[in-house]
Copies of this chain bind each other. A is one copy, B any other.
Amino acid sequence: MDYREVTGKREFVARLGHGADWRSEIESLAEDEGVESAWFVAMGAVQDADVWFYDQDEKEYREVSFDEPLEVASCVGNVSLLDGEPFAHTHAVLSRQSGQALAGHLDSATVFAGEVYMRTFEEPLVREHDEPTELDLWL
């Protein structure tokens, strides 16, 4: 395990734009405020969602698209630098009218309504290629 102490710098609440992309909105906040590292939690609803699952054997993401309205029952993620740009690594749990839950890495989703809390840190987080997982990881 690698860990480091961080120092909270500034914190934000956001209401994501209706019709915009969920993850791009979070990255847009980071860009506008010069945020290079942060954690966030969020909730709301989306009009559709592309969810990714990492194939740990083949080392590739597999996508599932849900072209239907869904609640965002939980959204947890962090902001770091990937290739010099703020990247919002975003995981989400979504739900259907029946209460059935769907979940995974959230690549994109059209916002219906979204509420976000973001806590930023002074210390940057920078993603780099990680050998055993073939993912871009920080620390």
Contacts and interface: CB of A to CB of B under 8 A. Distances in A.
Contacts of A116: 3
Nearest to A44: B91
B71 A104 contact: yes
A62 B101 contact: no
Tell me what chain A mostly uses at the interface: helix, strand, loop, or mixed. strand
Interface residues of A, number: 77
Interface string A34-78: 000101011101010001011111000010101001011111111
Interface of A: 1-8, 10-18, 20, 25, 28-29, 37, 39, 41-43, 45, 47, 51, 53-57, 62, 64, 66, 69, 71-78, 89, 91-105, 112-113, 115-117, 119, 121, 125, 130, 132-133, 135, 137-139
